[in-house]
Amino acid sequence: EILGVHIVGPHATELISEGALAMELEATAEDLAGAIRLHPSLSESQVEAARECLGRGVYVMR
């Protein structure tokens, strides 16, 4: 369950709507992790964050 979304930065207004929609639809991290986004794009970071929550992050150094 997604309990909240915090986005800070110059493009926050472009990104927060997706988080708000996910909360409204009661989406899970699994739902967001399976989303397809354009590359490269800012919205891709939300999918990556969801994947990292599930231990499946692509752009994380381990």
Would you tell me how many other CB atoms lie within 10 Å of the CB of residue 27?
A: 18
Q: Which of 3, 6, 24, 39 is catalytic?
A: 39
Annotation says 11 is catalytic: no
Q: Is there a contact between 47 and 32 (Cβ–Cβ < 8 Å)?
A: yes
Active-site amino acid positions: 39
